[in-house]
Amino acid sequence: MHEAAVPLVIELTILVLAIFLGIEVISKVPTMLHTPLMSGTNAIHGIVLVGAILVAGRADADGLTLVVGFVAVALGTANVVGGFVVTDRMLEMFKTRRRDR
C-alpha cells in the first residue's frame, strides 16, 4: 500500500475539495434531521475499518501488529455496524401524517 504513493499535493487537494463539498451538502440538512446526521456521519467515519483491515492483514504482521490490528478491526466494525443500524432506526421513525388511519 505504500508503493507508488500519490503525490501529497494531490491528496491535499482531494481533502480540501471534500471539506468544501461536505460544508455545501451538510448545510442543506434541516435541523430536524441533525441527530440522524450526526449518527450517519458517525457511521461514515467507520470507514477507518478499511484502514484497520489493511493493518491487521499485513503478511509480515508480528504479535503487536496482530493484537493492535485485531482490536482496531473490532472497534471499526462496531462503529460501522452500530452507526448505520441506529441511523436507520431513527430515520424509519420520521413519518408523514397518515390520513388513512
**Using CB under 8 A, which residues numbered 60 to 89 contact other proteins?**
60-62, 64-66, 68-89
What residues from 26 to 65 belong to the interface with other proteins (CB under 8 A)?
26-62, 64-65
Minimum distance from CB of 31 to other proteins (Å)?
Answer: 5
Residue 6 interacting with other proteins (CB under 8 A): yes
Give me the sign of the Cα torsion angle 29, 32, 34, 37.
negative
Query: CB within 8 A of 56, min separation 6: which ones?
Result: 65, 66, 69, 70, 72, 73
Minimum distance from CB of 101 to other proteins (Å)?
Answer: 10
